[in-house]
Each structure stands twice: as structure tokens, then as C-alpha cells.
Amino acid sequence: MGKVLVGLSGGVDSAIAAYLLKEAGYDVTCAFMRNWDSLTNDDILGNPTIDDPVCSQEQDWADAKSVADSLGLELLRVDFIREYWDEVFQRFLSDYKLGRTPNPDILCNKYIKFDSFMKFAEEKGFATVATGHYAKMGHREDGTALLMKADDRNKDQSYFLAQIRRSVLDHVLFPLGDIDKPQVRKIAEQLNLSIAKKKDSTGICFIGERNFRQFLSNYLPMKPGNMFDIADGRLVGKHKGVLYYTVGQRKGLDIGGTGPYYVIGKDVVKNELYLTDEAHQEWLYSDQCLVSGFNQLADFSAPLKCHAKFRYRQEDNEVEITQVSEDQYLVSYPETIRSVTPGQQAVFYLDDVVLGGGTIDAVYRNGKDLMKTIDEQADSFHG
């Protein structure tokens, strides 16, 4: 067994990943990535001071150190604050400004955990890295590495890994790919690790849990505006800023006495949010979408019938993909799917193998761009 550098986050998953590799005979070293700190962002990056007192990373560092000490493993510490700000957070904000709904975890995996961290590992003499993701590595008969779904389908995180470079697959291990979360917790408890009962992290990658709308308002100021019922143009309420809402959203609209309503579109220029009610949910459904920036992780030929997820935790959907340019695919699903949203990721699977993924650029229904159809409907009731 060779040397491996494990990304130790301070959580239970990466802790048990490190333990399993050590038990398997690998020469294991751990590293903690520090990527977000409001004060450091201000001092180093020259950003305006933000009232953002929440920062869990020092506690995470302490937890990671406790785990490494318990397992008898060396723990390194590396800062990727500038890389995270430039490659993840700025891209995240840029997409939000366009009215899109990006996925920061996918950006984080692409640019930090499986790029900056991989380069750091190479500089330290490691040819292989490992993380606590729930995913599996497989191989074709010719030895080509494949990214696959984890055995624990409830925790499978392959969706978030679809944008990592194909070239890194030969240098990655996912020790949790064939065990489930209850087993991970049980091992941590048997080892008496301090983080055995620590709850799973949620929220923005490396930034953590917080009031998302309030946090985002530090960087994208609130601009209240009108919410309209797309069916008849009625003004049904006021929003706090169109950038803070996503297609399909039902909660948090603050419309009293009527509803429920669902977000179906938004106009960033007009600062208007468009909704539909229970009786007109057809506005939420599409039958095709255009996916751009496709990152191919396995060989295949299009057209191809396969499965796709258009957001995490979604059931697999039967689709057919047709290539329209070097990195663009038209995805068809005649049975229609709800709330396929521009800016989010579409990830494609053939059985358990991840074929790749890309960004949803446009959504269609009956051959028409659904967002443009919504805009035209809105223009009609504005006169």
C-alpha cells in the first residue's frame, strides 16, 4: 500500500475514511483545508468588512486535530482562502447576479478539493488523495478509472463530483463507497472518537450553516420588488430580492391567506418574481433542457438513453441525450420533469457509472424556451 493524503474536515465521514485506509495498510497523512474566514478575507483580499461573525472552521480544526491524535496520524493544515474566493465564491455570486441558482458544493469539489488540494498533495509527495465522500471508484477492463454511485444510495454524493477533472480519477480513493452511514457512526463510537455524534455539515461548502438570505445580502444587497401570479398578472405580494429565490420554491414566499404558490421564474432587470398556484402547476414542468459545459467522466456515444439527476436527492429520471456541440447536450424527457432550473447541474448515469455533468442553460416545453414563455406572459399582463 502506498502513501495517501486524506482531507480531514473535522467531521465523522472523513475521520472514518482515514481510519479505514490506515487499517487497510496505507501510509496515511491527513490535511485540514481552511478556505473561509471573514476577517482573513477582509485583510488579504481587500474586501469590504462584512458583518459575518459565524465561522465554524476553528472548531472543525480542533475536531480534526482530536481525530488525528486519536488515530495516531500526522495532520497538516493548508489555506486555500484566495483560491476559494476567486474560483468558488465569486463564481457563485456571479451566477446569482444573473438570476441563476448555482451549486457551491460542485464548484468546491471542482476547484478546491480535487484541484488545489490535489496540487498541494503532489507538492508534498503524495500521488493519491482520499476524502470522506460517499462515492465509489470502479474500473473498466482496460483499467480506465470510473466514478460510480456509493452503495449507500441515501448518502450517495456522486452528483457533487461530476465536475471534477477526469484525469484525477486515477489518483483518488473513496473509502466510504461500500459502507453506509450507520456503519460509519458505529465505527466512530467504537473508536471513542470525539466527533462520533457530531451532526453532518450542511449549508454552503466550507462556509457552513447560517441564515442564507441574510448571508447573501452581505454581498448581493436586498432589492424588494413585486411578485405576480403568472396566470392572470395579479400582484400577490412583495419579494425581498429576486436573487434569493429559486424555481420550484414554495416556502419563504411570505404570502398570507392564499396559496400555496410556487416560484416559476424571475426577471433580474425588472426585479420581478413570477409565481404559479396549485391549479396551474404546468408552469413548473419541462420536457427538454440544454446542458452546457459538459464534463465527461466516462466514454459513451450519443444519442444515448440513460438516467439523470437535475438536483441532489432527486430520483433518477429516464432521459435521452443528444450532442449538439463539443460540450453541449440536448436532454429530452417526454414524460416531463418538475422544476428543472437554469444554473443548476444535470448529472448523467449509466447504471451506477457517472457519465459526467454540466450546467442547465435553458429549459424547454413543447419546443419553446420556458423562461422566455414566462417572460412573454409577464409582458402581456404588463401591457
Chain centroid to Cα 81, Å, comes to 19
Residues 61 and 177 in one domain: yes
Residues 245 and 196 in one domain: no
Mean pLDDT of the chain: 90
Residues 186 and 324 in one domain: no
* 42 band by pLDDT with thresholds 50, 70 and 90: very low
Q: Which domain holds residue 13?
A: 3-212
**DSSP 3-state of 277:** strand
Query: How many CA atoms within 13 Å lie on the side-chain side of 269?
Result: 1
Give the C-alpha separation, 267 to 274, whole Å: 8
Residues 170 and 265 in one domain: no
CATH code where residue 222 lies: 2.30.30.280
Whether residue 145 is contained in a domain is answered as: yes
Residue 54 pLDDT > 50: no
Catalytic residue among 30, 55, 205, 289: 205
What pTM was computed for the model? Answer: 0.91
DSSP, residue by residue, 308-366: EESSTTPPPEEEEEEEEETTEEEEEEEEEEE---TTSEEEEEETTEEEEEEEEEEEEET
Residues 88 and 144 in one domain: yes
Taking residues 135-141, report their average pLDDT.
92
Strands 3-7 and 27-34: parallel
Residue 157 pLDDT > 70: yes
Whether residue 382 is contained in a domain is answered as: no
Q: How many other C-beta atoms can be found within 10 angstroms of the C-beta atom of residue 375?
A: 17
The per-residue pLDDT for range 328-347, each reduced to its tens digit, is 999 999 999 999 999 999 99
Residue 376 pLDDT > 80: yes
Residue 30 designated active-site = no
Whether residue 378 is contained in a domain is answered as: no
> Cis link prior to 303 (omega < 30° from 0)?
yes
**Short-list 38, 354, 36, CA closest to 205:** 36
Catalytic residue among 30, 55, 108, 289: 108
Hey, what's the cell of 27?
Answer: 501510509
Give the C-alpha separation, 112 to 106, whole Å: 10
Q: How many domains does the chain have?
A: 3
Q: What is the 3-state secondary structure (H, E, C) of 169-219?
A: HHHEECCCCCCCHHHHHHHHHHCCCCCCCCCCCCCECCCECCCHHHHHHCC
Whether residue 161 is contained in a domain is answered as: yes
The per-residue pLDDT for range 272-292, each reduced to its tens digit, is 999 999 899 999 999 999 999
Taking residues 292-314, report their average pLDDT.
95
Low-confidence winner among 48-62, 70-84, 164-178, 310-324 (lowest mean pLDDT): 48-62
CATH code where residue 333 lies: 2.40.30.10
Residue 205 designated active-site = yes
Residues 182 and 241 in one domain: no
